[in-house]
Amino acid sequence: MIILEDRQALNNWVEQSRLWGGKVGFIPTMGALHEGHLSLVREAQKTCSQTIVSIFVNPTQFGPGEDFNQYPRTFAEDKALLEEIGCDAIFLPSPDVIYPEGGQTFVSVEPLASQLCGASRPGHFQGVATVVTILLNLVRPHVAYFGVKDYQQLTLIKQMIRDLALAVDVVGVPIVREEDGLALSSRNRYLTIKERQQATALYKALMAAKSLFQSGETEAIKLEKAAHLVLHESGIEQIDYVEVRHKETLACDLTVVDPVMLIAVKIGKTRLIDNMVLSS
């Protein structure tokens, strides 16, 4: 496995990989890798001849007071995990490789970027859309892999790729969960034992809404209420949002047909998100 730190080294690898033919699969990450990230790599390995993971804690997607400085940086472990599963390359840029001095251009996907997580994290999705565009232009993959865990991010990236006619296929990979349902996240390591216990309520809340929907309830507000109740019962007080949206467009509807439920909460200082398509 090769580690590429600058644009020239990356470009040489990309040229070589494209010369060999076959597909290049790309998995953008912020590191602190876990089984969720590895499932993206495994998915890529099914159809791509070369897989490349980027590890970049992107400063522009963190707001003031967020956890950019505390975000776990565990490169030695990440490298070992990727090596073990046979990943071909890691792109490990420093901020100036991604954002050379004098940059003036940002990618904004509106109004999608201002809703849900975007409402409480202004600028977050502009940072995500911009870094993903830069990474896609540098890596030039045939296929890029993103987790369904970050549902709004995946929806926004699909929209952006369509709008900008970017020449890449996007694959969404299902959420990997712990046995008790908690979605794997690099931020789970911030949780205390008690908070970790409380965090299982997100999955329970989603399951409660799902079973209500599957028993015939289609009023968004009632589905949201059912999930709220579960969160409250577990003692989670800082609920950012519990929303039922259309699963493709994320549009709001009073009565839902093909819904996804999205949840964001804070447990202590840790912000957690989760989601579930209620109809599947």
Stretch that binds ligand AMP, among 9-17, 34-42, 70-78, 263-271 (CB under 6 A): 34-42
Strand, helix or coil at 18?
helix
Amino acid at 236: I
Q: Pick the closest to residue 50 from 75, 16, 76 (CA basis).
A: 16
Read off the tokens for 68. 């950019």
Stretch that binds ligand AMP, among 1-9, 173-181, 248-256, 266-274 (CB under 6 A): 173-181
Stretch that binds ligand AMP, among 74-82, 90-98, 109-117, 183-191 (CB under 6 A): 183-191
Q: Is 183 in the site for ligand AMP (CB under 6 A)?
A: yes
Q: Is 51 in the site for ligand AMP (CB under 6 A)?
A: no
CB 141 within 8 A of CB 88: no
Q: Is 29 in the site for ligand AMP (CB under 6 A)?
A: yes
Q: Is 173 in the site for ligand AMP (CB under 6 A)?
A: yes
Distance of closest approach, residue 254 Cβ to ligand AMP, in angstroms: 29
Read off the tokens for 118. 């975007």
Q: Is 147 in the site for ligand AMP (CB under 6 A)?
A: yes
Binding residue for ligand AMP (CB under 6 A) from 24, 30, 143, 260? 30
For residues 46 and 66, give the distance between their C-alpha atoms in angstroms, rounded to a whole number.
Answer: 36
37 is catalytic: yes
Binding residue for ligand AMP (CB under 6 A) from 115, 155, 186, 275? 186
Q: Is 40 in the site for ligand AMP (CB under 6 A)?
A: yes
Of 76 and 257, the one with the shorter C-beta distance to ligand AMP is 76
Partners of 239 in beta bridges = 265
Q: Is 133 in the site for ligand AMP (CB under 6 A)?
A: no
| Paired sense of beta strands 259-267 and 238-246, if any | antiparallel
Amino acid at 14: V
> Would you list the DSSP string of 24-41?
EEEEEE-S---HHHHHHH
CB 220 within 8 A of CB 256: yes
Backbone CA torsion sign across 116, 258, 274, 229: positive
| Site for ligand AMP, rule CB under 6 A | 29-30, 36-37, 39-40, 146-147, 149-150, 173, 175-176, 183-186
Just list the catalytic residues: 37
